[in-house]
Amino acid sequence: MGQPQHLYIHIPFCHHRCCYCDFVTYAGMEDRIEAYVAAVCRELAMLAQIGHGTPACFRAPLRPSIFFGGGTPSLLSPAQIERIIATAEQVLPLADAEISLEVNPGSFLGTGLREQGRTARHYFGKLAQMGINRLSLGVQTLHDPTLRVIGRQHTAMEARQCYDAARRVGFAQISLDMMFGLPGQTLAQWQADLEEIIAWQPEHLSVYSLILEERAPLYQQVAQGALALPDDDTSAMMYEMTLEQLATAGYVGYEISNWARIDSVAGLDTRCQHNLAYWLNSDYLAAGAAAHGHIFPARYANLAQIDTYIAEVSANRRPVETWVHLNQADGCAETMMMGLRLHTGVRYDHFQQRCGCALDAVYGGVLERLVAQGLLERDEHAVWLTYRGRMIGNQVFMQFLESGSKGSMAIPLRDSA
Amino acid sequence: MSHQQYVRNFSIIAHIDHGKTTLSDRLLELTGTISARERREQLLDAMDLEREKGITIKAKAVCMRYTAPDGQAYTYNLIDCPGHVDFTYEVSRALAACEGALLVVDAAQGIEAQTLANVYLALEHDLVIIPVINKIDLPGANPEQVAEEIEHVIGIGREDIILASAKAGTGVPAILEAIAERIPSPRGQVDDATRALIFDSHYDAYKGVIAYVRVVDGMFPADTRVQFLGTKAQADILEVGVFRPAMTPLEQLSAGDVGYIATGLKTVEDCQVGDTITLAERPANKALPGYRPAKAMVFAGLYPIDSNAYTDLREALEKLKLNDAALSFEPESSSALGFGFRCGFLGLLHMEIVRERLEREYQLELLITAPSVEYQVLQTDGEIVAVDNPSTLPSPNIIASIEEPMMHISVIAPSRYIGAIMELVTTRRGSLDTMDYLDPQRVLLKYYIPLAELVIDFYDQLKSRTQGYASLDYALSGYQEANLVRLDILVNGQPVDALSMIVHRDSAYNRGRELVARLVKIIPRQMFEVPIQAAVGSKIIARETVRAMRKDVLSKCYGGDVSRKRKLLEKQKEGKKRMKMVGNVEIPQEAFMAILSLDGKDS
């Protein structure tokens, strides 16, 4: 049993909610940040004390990682981030760790911030000192009218300045979050976005297709016809365009929505270690309200409400809302569902090690069918999605979920008041 | 004779929402049958479904004691009758059990088509009609105009019409008095061989089938053996009594009485509405007139979504059948849908009620095919076969001719909609019979129209084209030869039997094109291109293509929330499971109902 290698920290605060978002985050509760940070530290201390072990078979050959996600982690002060990292050090080894933080370019706007010295450049400089070595910038699009429609509070110019500041400070790992399939977005606009961000030469790109979530305000606007999304064909073309242009620019689409630079000869690999832990179905801890962790043999989800979360931790109880116990079949299904998202696919030895059984013994028939349909390809080491399979990945992934299975039992620990 | 002299048997004829239920409740309250406090809302409509749909599906009978202003005591039997055209036969039997009827008309709405049809039924049975104009206190009430309409259409003088507001209680005492004064007492022969008319029945888990009867002649003691003249069944009576409104056992039921007979029978099929009950020991030799076994008019296939639920569906249908003599079903199989049942219904409402009860009371998930009617097919070998499922239509080269059921329909609507109604009926192969103005603003239109055209969305179309003002009544008028062909739908080159329909040759091309256009919208993109074709015989008359799926992949990162990703995929997979696999194409259930909403909505 070794120490856990990966930690997710959720920062559920935003100045403003984007209209497509249905993540757990709260606008207008920034006065709780200080108490929240204290609670996260306390939760981390609890995790350290419990001393979760991760068996070797649930560890991927990755560097350790911490990922600050949100919400808007860039609303935290450098001092708050420093405290969290310092506490996290009791939980996992940080030497050589990838420590990422999501940044909203809108976090450096607004009256007074500049006077307080909260410029992007100053802020990033501090982050670098705290040990943050990877930034993920939420650019989304560089088309100003579209940014306004989706409720982003920054302009394209501010995103450019933000990227520039991160570069100048010397961050060696910068990732950009981009989205296509946005309301009113055209192929030409998306092409212009792609061309510009390629020119920036970020080390990493996450490109997501907008997903209309029922609980997000955008859903209503689209349902009522106030906004129109690009049709399926246009959205497909946008994705095809992304695959093509990023490949031409030398990026490897190492996951359905993620691109990095990989050059084994030059020893270059800018893949996100933290997200790879998810795709490889490794163990990872999570802290903060609504955070989701995976510690064999269970997944857990923390309480989502900020105040409930703080209260629970203050009472010295773990703020977990549900544990989902995973059986072997779940492990197999999830290893495939996640692993096939990678361009390297699922290695048989990894599957054997992770699930305790041979891939073909469990899924031989399914694999054969999907290969025959031209959705999967395989050799003596691994199985992976074809280009067509990547385009319609859901049709592939769902074949590994047991039909009609209720999934694992979710055990609510308390009323989710 | 003295017993019958103070009995009054009557019914209430009213359109939905014209206030029948409220008036019934008032009568029960004023006669002390129930108190206002113990009154359950809409007492007479006991079944949930009935209350929800605001209609009375099954007739019930309540026995009241009324004391007239002169101190004379009367027994009032109120026989409730269904308010929907699907149940016209039940209405006619309920009316046959009465000597009089209250005609309740909304002071703002006037007479509606079904009401009028039921009034004519009542007049055929020589019932005394007491017209009541209800809701006179509502804004928009125009009792004068409605009174004129009643006078003009039914021929009852202004002086005989009672103005009422059942809600406020206004006019209700006058109605109670009029029942005693105007409706004649029953004139049965107490000493004749015993005969009773069954006007309704239901299955009770403890007492077997309960027959709702009107005793015409003679007398039923509480413990005797009875015989059914129509079905030939026999039974030992467990109990007789009346509804006050709870079941109240009595020593006997005799000529003129309305009440129930608990038969102990296991299925209502043996105790059909309209049949005559007599005593087994001394049977009457002549049945009461008007009996006809329940006959299905509309047919549809019912299939369980989960093919493992086939047995459950059969058991549920068997149970429903215990209580619903009009429901018929037999096993059928479809290459597209698997194993299911071909069910016969009185009409579309009846079909909808059966489907809802199966889903609600038996928790079955069902797929129901588009309704069909029963065709009489004359083959070249001289044989006549009845076809109620388009996919079983004989091959065209052995068909000499096809006859289809025709309906005689009545539509009452404001005269400004005549054009819209004419257009609708004409596109549905209907022909005008008569047109009469009920008053300067309202018109009664009668048409002949094929039943097949009526069952497909006709009522909804009629309502939408007349902004909800038109009312409809219909009755079978006979069979008529027509130039009919079977329209087949091919999905990915394979005919889908459950999507076939029988249409007039002239409209085959348009129907085919419309249906194909709709299906292309309903059938989701598959992993490959799927042609959808319409064909008559071997000739393809329309074609569209469902293009192949281009992109379907969850791209969003849920911050380590793998369960959520998994749930989304499971949901998607569950959605696929609810579709029917035809060949290797997944067809959603709506596709099988697409035929129903063909009426240029997309064109």
pLDDT single digits (tens) B160-207: 999 999 989 999 999 999 999 999 999 999 889 999 999 988 888 888
Decide if pLDDT at B62 tops 80: yes
- Stated as kind and residue range, the H or E segment containing B463 is helix B458-465
Provide Rg for chain B, Cα atoms.
27
Q: How far off is chain B from A196, nearest CA to CA, in Å? A: 22
Query: Own/partner pairs for B322-325, CB < 8 Å, 24+ apart?
Result: B322/B203, B322/B266, B322/B267, B322/B268, B323/B202, B323/B203, B323/B268, B324/B268, B324/B354, B325/B201, B325/B268, B325/B269, B325/B271, B325/B272, B325/B273, B325/B293, B325/B294
Position A189 scores a pLDDT of: 97
CB B557 to CB A293 under 8 A?
no
Token pair recorded at residue B365: 């998930």
Position B56 scores a pLDDT of: 42
Among A205, A256, A398, A399, the residue to mutate for chain B (most B Cβ within 10 A): A398
Token pair recorded at residue B86: 């699907």
Q: How far off is chain A from B571, nearest CA to CA, in Å? A: 10
Q: Which residues of A91-122 are buried (b: 16+ CB within 10 A; e: fewer)?
A: bbebeebbbbbbbbbbbbbeeeeeeeebebbb
Region B253-267: mean pLDDT is: 92
Using CB atoms, pick whichever of A236, A291, A398 lies closest to residue B550.
Answer: A236
Using CB atoms, pick whichever of A256, A291, A401 lies closest to residue B555.
Answer: A256
Token pair recorded at residue B282: 């001394």
Position B598 scores a pLDDT of: 55
Position B452 scores a pLDDT of: 92
Region B477-486: mean pLDDT is: 95
Q: How far off is chain A from B524, nearest CA to CA, in Å? A: 12
> What strand order describes the sheet that includes A346-347?
A346-347, A382-385, A376-378
CA distances from A85 to A6, A93, A130, A135 (A): 13, 11, 8, 15
Position A244 scores a pLDDT of: 97
Distance CA A242, CA A244 (A): 5
CA angle, residues B62, B65, B68, in degrees to nearest 5 = 135
Helix (H, G, I), strand (E, B) or coil at A210: coil
**Residues B531 and B516: beta-carbon distance below 8 Å:** no
Q: Which of residues 351-390 of B touch A (CB under 8 A)?
A: none
Using CB atoms, pick whichever of B549, B563, B569 lies closest to residue A397.
Answer: B569
Query: In the structure, what pLDDT confidence band is assigned to residue B68 with cuts at 50, 70 and 90?
Result: very high
**Residues A176 and A206: beta-carbon distance below 8 Å:** yes
Chain B hits for A333, Cβ within 8 Å: 566
Decide if pLDDT at B599 tops 70: no
Position B597 scores a pLDDT of: 63
Query: In the structure, what pLDDT confidence band is assigned to residue B83 with cuts at 50, 70 and 90?
Result: low
Using CB atoms, pick whichever of A233, A284, A394 lies closest to residue B553.
Answer: A394
Distance CA B511, CA B534 (A): 9
Query: Could you report the per-residue pLDDT of B429-453, keeping only the tens digit for each?
Result: 999 999 999 888 889 999 999 999 9
Using CB atoms, pick whichever of B555, B560, B572 lies closest to residue A398.
Answer: B572
Helix (H, G, I), strand (E, B) or coil at B579: coil
* Mean pLDDT taken over chain B: 88
Q: How far off is chain B from A314, nearest CA to CA, in Å? A: 25
Burial class for B182, CB neighbours closer than 10 Å (0-12, 13-18, 19+): middle
Chain B hits for A8, Cβ within 8 Å: 559-560
Using CB atoms, pick whichever of A208, A278, A392 lies closest to residue B549.
Answer: A392
DSSP track, A284-347: BEEESTT-EEEETTEEEEE--SHHHHHHHHHTT---EEEEEE--HHHHHHHHHHHHTTBTT-EE
Decide if pLDDT at B310 tops 80: yes
Phi then psi for B167, rounded to 5 degrees?
-65, -45
Position B348 scores a pLDDT of: 81
Q: Give the global pTM.
A: 0.70
Token pair recorded at residue B204: 């009770």
Chain B hits for A393, Cβ within 8 Å: 552-554
Using CB atoms, pick whichever of A233, A324, A390 lies closest to residue B553.
Answer: A390
Query: In the structure, what pLDDT confidence band is assigned to residue B603 with cuts at 50, 70 and 90?
Result: very low
Chain A hits for B569, Cβ within 8 Å: 337, 394, 397-398, 401
- Percent of chain B residues past pLDDT 90, beyond the cut: 54
The C-alpha torsion from A76 through A82 and A87 to A92, rounded to 10°, is 100
Token pair recorded at residue A233: 């064909």
Chain A hits for B552, Cβ within 8 Å: 391-395
CA distances from A397 to A148, A337, B281, B348, B572 (A): 35, 5, 74, 43, 11
Q: How far off is chain A from B578, nearest CA to CA, in Å? A: 11
Position A405 scores a pLDDT of: 41
Region B353-366: mean pLDDT is: 90
Distance CA A296, CA A299 (A): 7
**What is the CB neighbour count within 10 angstroms for residue A318?**
14
CA end-to-end distance (rounded Å), chain B: 68
Cis peptide before B157 (omega within 30 of 0): no
CB distance from B308 to chain A under 8 Å? Answer: no
Structure-model confidence comparison of residues B363 and B40, the more confident one: B363
Distance CA B481, CA B489 (A): 25
Q: How far off is chain A from B113, nearest CA to CA, in Å? A: 38
- Percent of chain B residues past pLDDT 70, beyond the cut: 93
The tens place of each residue's pLDDT in chain A, 417 residues long, gives 578 899 999 999 999 988 888 888 999 899 999 999 999 999 999 999 887 777 776 677 899 999 999 899 999 999 999 999 999 999 999 999 999 999 999 988 765 566 566 789 999 999 999 999 999 999 999 999 999 999 999 999 999 999 999 999 999 999 999 999 999 999 999 999 999 999 999 999 999 999 888 888 999 899 898 999 999 899 999 999 999 999 999 999 999 999 999 998 999 999 999 999 999 999 999 999 999 999 888 899 999 999 999 999 999 999 999 998 999 999 999 999 999 999 999 999 999 998 999 999 999 999 999 999 999 999 999 999 999 999 999 999 999 987 544 344 444 443 333
CB B551 to CB A257 under 8 A?
no
CB B557 to CB A257 under 8 A?
yes
DSSP track, B249-275: EESEEETT-EEEEE---S-GGGS-TT-
Phi then psi for B520, rounded to 5 degrees?
-60, -30
Residues of A near B (CB-CB distance < 8 A)?
A: 8, 10, 23, 69, 206-209, 211, 232-233, 235-236, 239, 256-257, 275, 278, 284, 286, 291-294, 299, 301, 324, 333-334, 337-338, 373, 390-395, 397-398, 401, 403-404, 407
Chain B hits for A286, Cβ within 8 Å: 560
